[in-house]
Amino acid sequence: MNFSTFGPFLMSEWSQEGLKRFWDKTDTVQKRLDYPTGLNKAIGVYIVALEGVGGALVPWYVGKTDNGFGIRFTQHLRGARFATLFSKNSPAVKVFLIARITSSGKLKKVTRKMREGKGMKSIDRLEFALIGSCLARNPDLVNKREKKFHGGLHVPGYWNSDPKNYDSAARKLAKMIKAQ
């Protein structure tokens, strides 16, 4: 199973018109890369990030879609979670789209099987992994689902543990997998 990463794309307005401009911008990128399907119809995982001090991106939310990025973002329009990001004093909002790629190298789009609720395990697992990685970067990540698991998991040498307290085995594990 393969994915391809696109972005970060600046999202400057949270409205129906703003989303249309956003998808027009991403379609320009995907056409340049010779993908026949627009990114708005592709499925995968997305990360919404805020531009911090010095331009560093800080993850704010991790999401997934088995229905297409465009449909999922339109669903988010109905909620207040994302709207709060677009006030006058908000930092720049950037979006990474991590699209599932078919074996022939095309953007994977929604199939009837997915519409019937079967979903894709690869997308679920990638979202889970990215939530964990993004929580390590931003403990205030908005995601509620999986946050409790990742926050409660402690593995010396790998996850949620203080390197100052590593024993010999934890130091060797951290060195082997290059964990912090």
Write out pLDDT tens, residues 118-163. 667 889 999 999 999 998 889 899 887 788 888 888 899 888 888 9
Q: Where are the domains of the chain?
A: 2-142, 146-180
Write out pLDDT tens, residues 40-69. 889 999 999 998 888 899 999 999 998 889
**Which of 151, 128, 13 is closest to 24 using CA atoms?**
13
d(CA 4, CA 26): 14
**Which of 161, 101, 90 is closest to 126 using CA atoms?**
101
User: pTM here?
Assistant: 0.84
How many angstroms separate the first and last alpha carbons of the chain? 28
